[in-house]
Structure 1
Amino acid sequence: MTDLTRRAFGVLLAGTAAAAMIPASARAEAMLSSLELLAPSSPGSGYDQLARAVQGVLQSKGLVSAVEVVNVAGGGGTVGLAQFVTTRPRKPTALIVGFALVGGVLSTQSAVTLKDVTPIARLMGDVDAIVVPASSDIKTLADLVAKLKENPGAVSWAGGSIGGVDHVTAGLFAKAAGVDPTAINYVVHAGGGEVLASVLGGHATVGISGYEEFRAQVDSGDLRALAVSGETRIEGVDVPTFKESGIDLAVQNWRGIVANPRMKDADRDALTAAIAEMVKSPEWAEALKTRGWIDSYQPADEFGAFLTEETTRIGQALKDAGVL
């Protein structure tokens, strides 16, 4: 190699190294150093589970340096929503949202709505399950329907917030079974953890919540799952759907993430980019598989349009279920 060739090669290597450093530097500047992720419900709930799954993947992939999950329960998520929108945050802040929060806003006529936040992405979907204690004389969904028809008020339902997917599904289930949905005895709980405790403690006839919130107790034999609300069975789970059990009904929950309206443009863009990278990662795919969640990712623009359409659809479902 001649001296001229060596010098040219050295310049090429230096240029290549410098070029490689530019995007790395840009990524470092764009990456969020911290994020507060608010779950508008109690620990153990579906919102909380999603928040902690997002926290784990963002941190393990180095997409956000530090993610703190904060729980604010109450009002079907509207307490957390109001706090999220009206409080000036100390650092970049995001909120987990879902079907239940849309229903909570409608049923409580909340002054703060999802029009007051900035959509980032829809992330996943899941389905509800109806469960009973292992000692219950209700062995099948047909047994539950029979009890409802005999005396709907005698069957107590432990479920999530007013207007949430659990409440709507219970009402639509009663209607599909030929029972007045306004006659069911639905007992509101702050989240899936409280629903689980109520059913295990024998304080409710049945429990209704996301299947994952019951999975460990179903696997251990402490609870019996009668059916799930999706169009199809959960992969690897031997529990029939409502339709398989004679009830012509399918309901799917969904959850996503939104940004605080006061978030700086650069921070919002960094969060959007981090979430877009997260959902493509093997770690996120594993999180979905482990929890039995359905991949329902939508980027910001699509998610914003979906929220507008979903507000109308859920409003009608609340009327059909006798909630509004």
Structure 2
Amino acid sequence: MRRDTFLKSLAALAAAGALPLPALANANLKMMIPANPGGGWDTTGRALGKALQDAGAAASVQFDNKGGAAGAIGLAQFVNASKGDPNALMVMGAVMIGGIITGKPPVSLTQATPIARLTSEYNVFVVPADSPFKSMKDVVEAMKKDMGSVKWGGGSRGSTEHIAAAMLARVVGADAAKINYVPFRGGGEATAAILGGNVSVGGSGYSEFQQYIESGKMRPIGVTSATRLKNAPNIPTMKEQGFDVEIGNWRGVYAAPGITPDQRKALTAMMQKAVKSKAWAEAMERNGWTDAWLAGPAFDEFVEREFASLRATMVKAGMV
């Protein structure tokens, strides 16, 4: 049989499901992390890279951190530089959607290719150990007296912790548009600002603050989940403190624009293999993440609903 005929036969069999998708173990992947080192996207991306290799789904993974504008800077670079590249991936999530709604960047998330939602996590609010604020009620009282006196710190504008702070202002009758919010390009910067007392209240996933909470350098005063976290049962929810604020922060992965349907299927299969690995299970446990796997058309539809839902929440909170 001629080589070209043989290759066409293989392609036909693969399309029909008689053969596995392209050999994944040889892939040399490039992963865009649209944030500076130290934050949730960085932790997720590097954990995913390790899991892909641990599962034998990729030979290597190279990382590129490009923070700023709620991931819009990294998104723009990813969209413009990786068209048609089946080995290019990008970490993303609710924060990017919120940033797109508030910032309206020239590059759209719809230009990239959805692959899967991976995890979900709730925001924990913390204060420095020597803070005069002992509870979220203390923070609210200070906000009511002088909105500008409480300096909130977290991810980019439009992040879930920013939205949660605005929701809190709204439910206590304060002007959410006057919130003194300081955005940071990465979790490392935000953590340093909290520890240094440069912000009054910091927000992020529990995993980013865990070591500082356990060492007594930070004091948790609220979490945006419906019930207390299993890995941090001592942190009261916003709701049990009397504030109707509940919002989750999910994270996922996208592929490059212009890849073929078969390439998308192959990448989805790689993710499925990775999330079943021991390395990923350890990362989930270590970071207190909740499994939120969703792929295919269901993930596409979920992202569309998230745009609508977050926009409605942000409009109510006075952010849009």
TM-score, normalized by length of structure 1?
A: 0.88
The answer to whether the 8 Å contact 2:82/2:257 transfers is: no
The 5 Å alignment of 1:127-138 reads: 127-138=122-133
Indicate yes or no: 2:171 matched with 1:176.
yes
Change (3 A) 1:43 1:323: same
CA distance in 1, matches of 2:132, 2:196: 16
Q: Are the aligned partners of 1:92 and 1:267 in contact in 2 as well (CA < 8 Å)? A: no
The residue aligned with 1:314 is 310
What secondary structure, in the 3-state scheme, does the structure 1 residue paired with 2:60 have? strand
Asked if residue 210 in structure 1 is aligned to residue 205 in structure 2, the reply is yes
What CA deviation, in whole Å up to 9, does each residue of 1:238-296 have, x standing for no partner? 21110111111211010100110133555433221111122233432332121011111
User: Counterpart amino acid of 2:50?
Assistant: G
Are the counterparts in 2 of residues 92 and 263 from structure 1 also a CA contact under 8 Å? Answer: no
Q: Does 1:33 align with 2:58?
A: no
Could you say which residue in structure 2 is the equivalent of 1:253? 249
Deviations 1:152-207 (A, max 9, x none): 11111111111111211110011122221112111111122111111111111111
How far residue 28 of structure 1 moved from its aligned partner, in angstroms, is 7.0
Is residue 67 of structure 2 the alignment partner of residue 70 of structure 1?
A: no
Residue 3 of structure 1 corresponds to none
Deviations 1:111-157 (A, max 9, x none): 21121111110000101111100001111111111111111111111
Residue 150 (1) aligns with residue 155 (2): no
The equivalent position to 2:43 in structure 1, one of 33, 40, 49, is: 49
Secondary structure of 2:240's counterpart equals coil
Gap change, CA 1:88 and 1:280, over 3 Å in 2: closer
Q: Which residue of 2 aligns with 1:13?
A: none
How far apart, CA to CA, are the structure 2 residues paired with 1:154 and 1:275?
Answer: 45
The CA distance in 1 between the partners of 2:307 and 2:26, in whole Å, is 31
Aligned to 2:259: 263
What is the SS of the residue equivalent to 1:81? Answer: helix
Deviations 1:11-30 (A, max 9, x none): xxxxxxxxxxxx9x957734
Question: Structure 1 unaligned runs (5+)?
Answer: 1-22
Distance 1:308 1:91, change over 3 A: closer
In structure 2, stretches of 5+ residues that fail to align are 1-16
Taking a change above 3 Å as real, the CA distance of residues 146 and 307 of structure 1, as seen in their structure-2 partners, is: same
Matched to 2:54, the amino acid is: S
1:56 alignment partner AA? K
Task: Give the secondary-structure state (helix, strand or coil) at the position aligned to 1:214.
Answer: helix
Residue type of the alignment partner of 1:163 = G
Give a deviation string over 1:41-82, Cα, whole Å, max 9, x none: 000111101001101111112111111121111111101111
Equivalence for 1:18: none
- SS of residue in 1 equivalent to 2:125: strand
The size of the alignment, in residue pairs, is: 301
TM-score by length of 2: 0.89
Q: Percent identity?
A: 37
What does residue 181 of structure 2 align with? Answer: 186
Q: Is the 8 A contact 2:207 2:288 kept in 1?
A: yes
Q: Which amino acid aligns with 1:314?
A: L
Letter in 1 for 2:301: A
Q: SS of the residue aligned with 2:164?
A: helix
- Shift in CA distance, 271/198, structure 1 to aligned 2, threshold 3 Å: same
Cα 1:145–1:33 change in 2 (3 A) is same
Paired residues of 1:159 and 1:187 also in contact (CA < 8 A): yes
Q: Which residue does the alignment assign to 1:297?
A: 293
Structure 2 residue 192 is matched with structure 1 residue 197 = yes
